[in-house]
Amino acid sequence: RTPCLIPGIDRSYCLQTEVSDLYLGLVVFRFHICSCSSTAKVFVHEWAHLRWGVFDEYNNDAPFYVSVNSGKASVEATRCSASVTGKYIVQSCTGNSCTTRECKSDEQTKLYEAGCKFVPEKTQNAPASIMYMQSLPSVVEFCDQSTHNEKATNLQNKMCSYHSTWEVIMNSMDFSNTSPINSASPPFETAFSLLQTKDRVVCLVLDVSGSMDGNNRIKRLKQAAEIFLLQIIETGSWVGIVTFHSTAQIETYLQQIINENVRRDLTKYLPISAGGGTNICAGVHKGFEVIKQKYSNLYGSEIVLLTDGEDGGMSSCLTEVKNSGSIIHTIALGPNASPELEQFSNMTGGLRFYATDTVDSNGLIDAFSGISSGSGNISEQSIQLESTAQSVAVKQWMNGTVTVDSTVGNDTFFVVTWDRSTSPPDILLRDPKGKEYRTSNFTASNLNLQTARLNIAGTAEVGDWYYWIQNKHTDSQVISMIVTSRAASLAVPPVTVKALMNKDTNNFPNPMVIYAEVSQGFLPVLGATVMATVEPQTGSAVELKLLDDGSGADITKNDGVYSKYFTSFRGNGRYNLKVRVQGKDKTVRLRRRQSRALYVPGYIENGEIKMNAPRPEPSDDEIQAKLGSFNRVASGGSFVMENVPSGGTTDVFPPCKIIDLEAQYEEDKIHLSWTAPGNDFDVGQGKYIIKMSESLLDLRNTFEDATSVNTSSLVPKPAGTKESFQFKPENVTIENGTIIYFAIRAIDNASLTSEVSNIAQAALFIPPKESSPDSTPNDDVINEGINILTIVLIVAGSIIAVSIAVSMIVCILHKKNRRGGPELRM
């Protein structure tokens, strides 16, 4: 951050950022920003989110908090830095007429009332922060250690352990090993390139070496590649095919898919036999040759590289591959595929997949189905509705349900595969209106005798499709059902699923994080059931449920991104990820993705409040809309595990960090609530260490030295459930303005502890009484004191008088009773 001069702006301090060699798809950006315009600062704000992972320093859900400075409590706007000045204003509008007044306190929250907005002064001295209100002319910096507001209840503090955004940024790889630029001007001006999409160009480069003859790999390759050519690759794309063993051969040069005849013709060039050694570089060179036969360069082209063998000569073409401009997607088949294979994907921005030899996982078919276009018209892209397989005994049935929702239905295929018999099993498929399709309606491939395919004419009926498949073979065999479709309408985006992981290569004992983003266009889909299956090289697959509840691995609740930690490692090597999503009509819904940008309600200029137009508030119907039932399947690619102990593992995984701790006063007690972590990150059940302090930084920096809270009455709940704990703090004098901070560490059975949770505050704050309009504040206080004293004296005097009168009456009656004889006594 250095000062720079902008023509026409005298001595303006601007943010100067240097980022080198940042890969965004195929485009490399190298840029410097030195501009005081709001547009440039918005760009830097969003880039900081994307590149460095910092968070907003405002909070639309908690815009105010209680702060104590020099023993005096006050309500403050959630902001950074705290030196940004302004007023707290409520605007009321009737028609085109609006009035403003100062905010009042809310009796329940003790903060400001609903509708209160912090209106900043237009002219400020505060230079920070870009992550708070970059629209202010003075703001040209991120908050650093000296300006950071650790008391603010924002996501930056919550997720980054109360460190400033600049501290986080400086620890990134972009800056940790670089020196500041000691110059008043950027080294060179920003250059932006405008790119235009072109026809998709894909060359299949397929391994046909001798090892492909084992485990039925060559037949499975043909099944999967046939589905890719007939159902997945988009119309208008160009496709070529290369095979390789010790040498490479061009099976067909690029053909443009303009109709179904071209698709069927391409399947004729798929391999049917295997033999020879493995020369991966030879196959890649031939793939480049196929593409260059039509195009002068390789930029934007794609190669789908599949192999099951090792090749010690891969390093000879790494540099050429890196500089080619082509994107290489890799599919590793079986446990012995070259460990260097993923380098091709990493260098070129391609996808990486892994398929085991376990045929009932559909791994190879899912890998090819996952290589759809990442850009262009979403309505042209294939969407996988179902992919399931199981071993079916003789004369037994495999049955299931596939839901075709209203957002898909065009170009719908039902594909049945089997692995042993030469004749198809008995197939019965029934649509939502009762129409039945039988084996005779399916088309068996002339080139691939273990695949039967049904293409539904027009748009498939919306609703549940039921299927029953009987194994007629003399032995058990694996039968699979694959269903793909495309968008039903150009005007309505389909529901899509993106399965992701936090890293491609992981070192034990670090956990993996599995993500699935479920959306319709830009709208997140809520309430879906999301199951992830992780399949290792050896051992059985592991299934886990992903959640969108804002706890554990899930950062933000109800954003359509479902998350979970994965720690069930079976050894070193590759792992395959597959995600299955199901939405039920009564539980799933859409949510409007509201802008998270900070709304600036107005400014104060020269003492005058100038309000902007009120931010439109969406109605409940706009925020949440019913979606209906749907099915989706998506491949998340593969990751590689390293340094997993060969003799098995002990308990090395601690509970995950609690990120949603909340605290509040309830009369003379403190109420804490949070989502339970697990024994191993977010799985199982842990225990708790709760600490409190009147110093936020002491609690963060020296958690163990803080005051302990007695948790003997707290019974921990399983991971993912809501915990609630109420207690009366001891040895603490609670008075107006008292703020107590709380934090939790979860602990497991092996005494492994989580990171310190987010720090929650409970503030006892009694706002001052509102002044009456016809008297001064001092008169109010005096009059209030006199009135109260008068009332107290009158009430006390009345009680004394009544007591004396009652006593006298009781005394007189008592004497009369004694004179009247026993007959009057009770």
Q: What distance separates the 2 farthest-apart alpha carbons in the chain? A: 133
Report residue 294: phi and psi, to 5°: -110, -35
139-150 as b/e, with b when 16 or more CB fall inside 10 Å? Answer: bbbbbbeebbbb
Q: Are 553 and 530 in contact (CB under 8 A)?
A: no
H helix and E strand count, the chain: 13, 42
Report residue 288: phi and psi, to 5°: -60, -40
DSSP for residue 216: G
Out of 46, 102, 770, 784, the active site residue is 46
Q: Quick count: other Cβ atoms within 10 Å of Cβ 777?
A: 12
The two structure tokens encoding residue 60: 């639309």
DSSP for residue 212: G
Integer Cα distance of 496 and 487 in angstroms: 10
- Where does residue 458 rank: exposed (0-12), middle (13-18), buried (19+ CB within 10 A)? exposed
| Residue whose structure tokens are 């994107």 | 327
The two structure tokens encoding residue 142: 């991120």
Integer Cα distance of 254 and 135 in angstroms: 51
> What is the residue type of 705?
D
The two structure tokens encoding residue 569: 């490692």
Q: SS3 for 281-331, per residue?
A: HHHHHHHHHHHHCCCCCCCCCEEEEEECCCCCCHHHHHHHHHHHCCEEEEE
Q: Are 232 and 204 in contact (CB under 8 A)?
A: no
Half-sphere exposure of residue 392, counting CA atoms within 13 Å on the CB side? 26
Report residue 87: phi and psi, to 5°: -125, 160
Integer Cα distance of 566 and 513 in angstroms: 6
Report residue 709: phi and psi, to 5°: -105, 135
Residue 141 a catalytic site member: no
Q: How far is CA 240 from the centre of its chain?
A: 37
Q: Are 481 and 469 in contact (CB under 8 A)?
A: yes
Query: CA-based angle 414:420:422, to the nearest 5?
Result: 75
Q: How far is CA 22 from the centre of its chain?
A: 22
The two structure tokens encoding residue 455: 């293409």
Integer Cα distance of 20 and 32 in angstroms: 9
Q: Are 607 and 84 in contact (CB under 8 A)?
A: no
Integer Cα distance of 365 and 363 in angstroms: 6
3-class secondary structure, 49: helix
Q: Are 487 and 457 in contact (CB under 8 A)?
A: no
Q: Are 518 and 339 in contact (CB under 8 A)?
A: no
Integer Cα distance of 580 and 784 in angstroms: 67
C-alpha distance from residue 77 to each of 116, 150, 760, 805 (Å): 10, 13, 17, 58
3-class secondary structure, 130: helix
Integer Cα distance of 682 and 513 in angstroms: 11
- Tally the residues of the chain: 826
Integer Cα distance of 66 and 77 in angstroms: 9
Q: How far is CA 450 from the centre of its chain?
A: 40
Integer Cα distance of 725 and 669 in angstroms: 10
Q: Are 190 and 31 in contact (CB under 8 A)?
A: yes
Residues tagged active-site: 46
